[in-house]
Amino acid sequence: MLRTHNKGLSSIPKLKKKVPNQGLRRALGPRQVQLLSMGGVIGVGLFYGAGVALKLAGPAVIIDYVIGGIIVAIVMRSLGEMTVEEPLAGSFSRFANQAFGEMFGFLTGGMWWFFWVATVMSELAAIGLLVQYWFPAFPPWIPGLVALGLFVISNLFSVEVFGELEFWFAVLKILAIVSFIVLGVLVTIIGINGAGLTNLWGHGGFLPNGVGGVLQAVSLVVLGYSGVETLAVTAGETGNPRKAIPQAVSNVSWRIAILYVGSISVMLVAFSWTSLAGHHVSPYVLLFAKAGIPLAATVINIIIISSGLSSSNTGLYGGSRMLFSMAKDGYLPVSLKRLSRFKVPKLSVIITGLGMSVGILITYLAPNSVYVWISSASAFAAIWTWSIILLSEITIRKRKGGRSASLHYPLWPWPILPVLGLILLAGMLLAIMTSPLTEVSVWSGVLWLVFLTGWWFLYSRKRIKRNQDHDEDEVTSKKKML
């Protein structure tokens, strides 16, 4: 375990005192960890949100996806360095704790939980809209409600069930994107419907909506990439994490960048962006339909719905494990850390599911606007989490000796990459703050931070102080007995 320079972190060493059969099971292998991380990030944010982003930015949306890919690679490499040294559930919340104190550890964990709740809300809303591809009059809130109920049930059982289910969901999504890229290349080579590089600038220019359009699409692109950091949260349930985590980090980052930037580029070359943007169905489905393969379009729509289910499954898992970790550290009520006979934090799963169910109500009340509203609301939390990961890595690495630190999986070149990541994230935050469409994400994030700060001072800090006093009294009593 990494050494902490905050004497108040009495809750972290207490993890060593737990009874062996009370801990999470290390049942996830390298195969499941890698695919789980990819499954978490490849969701409706890419398949469905890409169409909304295209409408805002036009072909220049490629810029957003390239920058997003660079940020993800830097964040994951930084997170990988710290996780290999301390492979525990809670991950970056623990690292923020060590770097900046208990309050920042709590705020980071709380913001990441909020991110997943909002993200799954948007995924469930999109699932309902995608079902309307076949049944236009079908209420969009019903599929989301059914899906959420099923995933709460599956997450209440063993982690092996979750890991295996997510593995096959991720396989389907990757196959869908690869098939899409292959079809797009074939369409371009054959020259169907005017396919070619001229589509990048031939319909209003590369920047049809100006720089402002690129800035407005940023939050949707952030959402598309968000979730990959779940890889580190799985460390507490991963067998041989010092081997599995580096493999997953190195493979996931470049694979996601290729799948995202590659599929978006192929899409924009194969068809004009104006023919793909502004529809309620996914542009990935439209590509197959426009290529004259309606059956394939139906299959792809099914896979896209499965991607939303997969991301929701991952979000429920990640959010519940974060609540579990925060309860272990004394930030939340002890009932959230109690494990069922399946070694699953039952109440944490249920509470996270209830938070996500709010999205079902919003989908019922405002089905046409719910996706953009909730998607942008999660962007601030994602940027907060990524920024804290990079700042924690810089701080902890400095304490260990900087460039000369002896680590199992050191980031290089240091500190150039984490500083570059912070600069890019600052630019993304500025873009979201200045866009009328996405500024709600900043305000909702700020309000949640205010709530978390209030909870810290009214509950968490006092509870931790009582635990510290109790521990000191125990030590004093033992000394007197000796």
- What count of other Cβ atoms lies within 10 Å of the Cβ of residue 181? 18
Q: What's the confidence (pLDDT) of residue 38?
A: 60
Q: What's the confidence (pLDDT) of residue 232?
A: 67
Answer yes or no: are the C-beta atoms of 153 and 20 closer than 8 Å.
Answer: no
The tokens describing 244, both together, are 């599995």
CA distance 259 to 282: 16
Q: What is the full DSSP assignment across 243-291? A: HHHHHHHHHHHHHHHHHHHHHHHHHHHHS-HHHHSS-SS-HHHHHHHHT
Buried b (16+ CB within 10 A) or exposed e, 443-468: ebbeebbeebeebbeeebbeebeeeb
Q: What's the confidence (pLDDT) of residue 455?
A: 92
Strand partners, 28: 238
**Contact partners, residue 431, CB within 8 Å, separation at least 6:** 214, 215, 216, 218
CA distance 27 to 283: 37
CA distance 7 to 327: 19
- What count of other Cβ atoms lies within 10 Å of the Cβ of residue 362? 18
The tokens describing 333, both together, are 């009520």
- What count of other Cβ atoms lies within 10 Å of the Cβ of residue 255? 15
The tokens describing 389, both together, are 């990961």
Strand partners, 238: 28
CA distance 482 to 480: 5
The tokens describing 343, both together, are 């070694």
Q: Under the phi-then-psi rule, with left for phi > 0, alpha for psi from -120 to 50, and beta for the rest, what region is 340?
A: beta
CA distance 225 to 255: 12
CA distance 392 to 405: 15
Q: What's the confidence (pLDDT) of residue 328?
A: 84
Distance of CA 317 to the CA centre of its chain: 11
Q: What's the confidence (pLDDT) of residue 418?
A: 95
- CA-derived radius of gyration, the chain: 22
> pTM of this prediction?
0.78
3-class DSSP state of 238: strand
68, containing H or E segment: helix 61-85
State the architecture of 13-481 in CATH terms.
Answer: Up-down Bundle (1.20)
Residue position matching structure tokens 């810290």: 456
Spell out the SS3 assignment of 165-221. HHHHHHHHHHHHHHHHHHHHHHHHHHCHHHCCHHHHCCCCCCCCCHHHHHHHCHHHH
Answer yes or no: are the C-beta atoms of 218 and 429 closer than 8 Å.
Answer: no
Divide the 482 residues of the chain into consecutive groups of 10 and give the mean pLDDT of each group. Answer: 36 37 48 56 67 85 89 88 76 85 89 86 82 85 88 76 69 79 83 80 89 83 75 60 75 75 85 74 74 78 79 81 84 88 87 89 72 72 90 94 87 92 91 76 84 91 70 55 58
CA distance 296 to 287: 10
Q: What's the confidence (pLDDT) of residue 11?
A: 36
Q: Give the DSSP letter of residue 411.
A: -
Answer yes or no: are the C-beta atoms of 375 and 218 closer than 8 Å.
Answer: no
Distance of CA 425 to the CA centre of its chain: 15
3-class DSSP state of 28: strand
Q: Give the DSSP letter of residue 332.
A: S
Query: What is the amino acid identity at position 272?
Result: S
- Which pLDDT tens digit goes with each residue over 259-305? 788 888 888 888 888 877 766 667 777 777 777 777 877 887 887 78
Q: Nearest-5° angle of CA 343, CA 346, CA 349?
A: 120
**Contact partners, residue 68, CB within 8 Å, separation at least 6:** 221, 222, 224, 225, 260
Closest CA to 457 of 80, 107, 153, 189: 107
**Domains in the chain: boundaries:** 13-481
Query: What is the amino acid identity at position 331?
Result: Y
Q: What's the confidence (pLDDT) of residue 14?
A: 40
The tokens describing 437, both together, are 């469409």
